[in-house]
Chains A and B, each alone.
Chain A
Amino acid sequence: MHIRVLGLNHKTAPIEIREKVSFSSDKLDRALRALKASGAVKENLILSTCNRTELYAVIDDSAAARDPLGDFLADFHGLDHAQLAQYLYEKNDKDAISHLFKVVSSLDSMIVGETQIFGQVKDAYFKARTLNTLGKTLDSIFEEAIRVGKKVRTETQIGKGAVSTSTAAIELARRIFETLEGKTVLIIGAGKIGEMTVKNLHSRGVATVLVANRTLQKAQELARVFGGKAVSFDDLAACMPQADIIISSTSAPHFVITRAQAAAALERRRNEPLFFIDLGVPRNIDPQANSIDNVYVYNIDDLASVRDANIRDRMAAAADARAIIERCVEAVCARFAQQSAAREVAL
């Protein structure tokens, strides 16, 4: 009896292949039942996300030499087996368990530490359990996998820290303001990262979005997206004191906001902290403004360094996670060995 995983992911297969072998929700039901009905495997479970498709199964010794999972995957999607094979990986027994534990802990994900995969594994497990395609072995392995996923998340720093520039800006904002709820953000100029940041801030409860642009029409377009207000460039100084967070990404060749202007805005805010996110190159906000009490100025490089530091932390956390996984794999394997020994004695 063997535990086997066969599948492909973002590292082994391009999107063109991944989309061909993915299982949508209704296909998944059919596939689970079909694989069970085929009699090729004793237990099975399918994990299908946008980055991976994996078939987990318990296979008889007699079938282990063949490739029932590869055949099934190719046949189900009407693909050529030989062609598909180059993208697939197959792992058995201890390696298969270890792989699953890494997947559920997001070590195998595109972004290490992301949280979605944990829920996806859980969903796949519940789905297979509802359709009754699991037996004792896979059931206990997946239960253990969910425990490992939780353990890694609570005992390591793997999910901490923003790993993109726009989320790094959000994290910084949350170290300045306790909550983003009810805050006002002003975005000057338009740019992809700037808009992403505003979008993230908006989804985290920022109350008011003000948009300033040289062309008022552009400002109005962006303002509409967030239910915000467009302001003309001439009114900038007047509406600056309202803003808690000011994002600037214009291509102006000189400072859009000088130190004196920042100081004036702060005074009108009665020293309520003011966070400048300067995404412009050349810089839009006088870096000297950072020396004013209660004013914080971060430029694009500063945000990148926050992001990179977080990525380094995640790498360190991933090493801790691997150690936890290794211990859990050993424990599970020891348990299986004990159980199968007991079974043989009973026979």
Chain B
Amino acid sequence: MVNIPSSINDPIPAAEVEDVELYHPHSWWTTYVFSQDAKVIAIQYSLTAISIGLVALVLSWLMRLQLAFPGVFTFIDADRYYQFITMHGMIMVIYLLTALFLGGFGNYLIPLMLGARDMVFPYANMLSYWIYLLAVLVLVAGFFAPGGPTGAGWTLYPPQAVLSGTPGGQDWGIILMLSSLILFIIGFTMGGLNYVVTVLQGRARGMTLMRMPLTIWGIFTATVMALLAFPALFVASVMMLFDRVLGTSFFMPAIVEMGTQLQHGGGSPILFQHLFWFFGHPEVYIVALPAFGIVSDLISVHARKNIFGYRMMVWAIVIIGALSFVVWAHHMYVSGMNPNFGFFFATTTLIIAVPTAIKVYNWVLTLWRGDIHLTIPMLFALGFIVTFVNGGLTGLFLGNVVVDVPLSDTMFVVAHFHMVMGVAPIMVIFGAIYHWYPKITGRMLDETMGRIHFWVTFLGAYLIFFPMHYLGLLGAPRRYYELGESVVNPPSAHDLNIFITMMALTVGAAQVLFLFNAAWSLRHGKDAGGNPWRATTLEWQTPTTPPPHGNFGKELPVVYRWAYDYSVPGAPEDFIPQNEPDPENRSREHAS
């Protein structure tokens, strides 16, 4: 048994840490392909997510081209347009953001930041990736199936999702979409169990919950939420699959289509909406919470200052996670549900702004009088704060029933959720990649290309989505293939559409530069060393960079302090790593 030290100030020798048995791969295949190492799985997850995300990016260009130049690109007909918006939305929300934050960053950072050798169930972790890959392949198969992918909109509302008027509704599209979602959820559950249990059981000696970096708090809470919210999408997908394939009537009401009475009858489309948004709203925070966590760490490291109000940050993450389960019906104000529900859900929606605002204040107060280094990760972190605040403010409009009803299904909504859930988390993802790329590869990303990438992306995203609010206030509806010349689309608004499209193409081009940078720096980047940002967390203290199999050397690190000891008065350097004991203790350790 472990000896409890007599004084709480005694350092605990690392030898007492119980180690785990690690699976050691024997061949090239088990090292790089069917790997059980969380770092390799993280890179597999990330590359797959980014690849499918590029497909979604191209789809968004095609949509924008159609909106700016209707009729010019003849291969984009109405059906194609709907397929593009559906696949763009679904890929971005689930297959890119969720997979990248939890599967990518979660896998890479949880074991390293907690001082663990690996995830607790490495085999299930490996399966998680391969099922995710299968889900992506099934999704992509939709593009090649007869009739193409589904064009039901990313919310897949029945009855239209399974009717013949919707692209893919009576073909393979919707079946492949639902199957892919079911697979994704099964795969995610395997990974999610790992992330949660590793945080519970895999922490190094001394790493109490309140010493964990906020990145881990964000990913941990988001994973717990995802584990409980994804089953709702699972249930909805399975039931809709039954409706479509086996002719049941869970969601399908009695419908006359093209003069023929369909065999369905009596089902409730609203039931689907409840199930979908019971998943869909927590999903917003499943993406946002890891972003909140990561951005807290980026700001603290690059402002050389401890995070302001760490405890409050942790509590806010947990409270946001809990509240996000009781706000789902604010997506359904126009669905015809009981108006009293609207009142309830508007209230909970506004309450969730409180912990979120606390987080924003704490970020700003961390920056206050900090030694701000305008590195690229810091630029992206600052970009995130601004974007998130802007996107969040329009959320206050849409959260109120009376304001939401006229704005519902307009471009205002599109602008809102792209700001808050699209651009803001993407800013964090880029910041995180610039921040951790040196640890993953051992080389820095190129600075000049990085700055161009940031400014074009940040300013461009504003130029895309700010004018879109104006279109929405004019009344321009979302999901319309072609508006023609109408009250909601006067020539001035149409010019704005052309401008937005130009900006979208420019921002897209900047992402190509980023990809080039990532590939080029792999060989030609500046050598990073082990800890280029002079950060305190454990992943920067590994014996070699990139971290070896098993992450740490012979002995696991012991944690002596929280993750934010920057610019401590009297300390020899402006950061003290988490695994560094106090000087007096260190000398005692050497003496013994």
Q: Do A and B come from one complex?
A: no
Binding site for B on A (CB under 8 A): none
